[in-house]
Amino acid sequence: MQEPIKPNKTFTFNCNKDFDIDRINPTMMEVVKYYKEFVEYAQDEYGKFASNNSCLGSCVSLIDESSVQIDIDYSNYVINYSVSIEVENTSYTSEYKTYTESLANYEQFLLDQKKAKQQAIEKENEINKLKAESHRIRLEKRITEIIDSDNLSDSLKLKIITRYCNAK
């Protein structure tokens, strides 16, 4: 499970286009002609942008003289038109609600994973304790058998008992 992505309140629409001109100083008619072509182009691009993002509404009111930048590159005989507009995410409220629900599920998922890991560690520790206890019981039995046998001297039996008790 992946962490959810917080939705944007606004989107930034950027669009630019270059038009080649024939002379170093374009006429006002050329500037206006290319401006109109750019506005149509930008409106088409905004339509694609709006369909990919949650921003509805007409861009006709957004793309106008005040929002379009015009730069003339005299050395390369190019007029560049560009626009950059902040557009409100119209479905932000519903997207944010979905985001908070997903975030809560994600946080619960992380807690469940942490809890499962902790339980696995506790279970492994319990198994290790049982193994150690089983080994201790076997060792005690073996020492008892050795001590009970008549093959060892009393001093050797005492040494074995002392070492075992010190090791505990």
Q: Are residues 17 and 62 in the same domain?
A: yes
Q: Domain boundary residue among 90, 124, 155?
A: 90
CA distance 36 to 27: 14
The encoded tokens of residue 2 equal 């992946």
CA distance 38 to 46: 12
Query: Is residue 59 very low, low, confident or very high in pLDDT (cuts 50, 70, 90)?
Result: low
Q: Where are the alpha helices (DSSP H) in the chain?
A: 28-52, 92-148, 154-167
pLDDT in tens, 65-75: 778 888 988 88
pLDDT in tens, 81-108: 999 888 888 788 888 999 999 999 999 9
Tokens 């520790």 appear where?
125
The encoded tokens of residue 164 equal 């075992």
Domain that holds residue 134: 95-163
Domain membership flag for residue 38: yes
Q: Are residues 74 and 118 in the same domain?
A: no
Q: Are residues 77 and 108 in the same domain?
A: no
Number of structural domains (the chain) is: 2
**According to the model, what pLDDT value does residue 56 have?**
63
Domain membership flag for residue 2: no
Whether this model's pTM surpasses 0.85: no
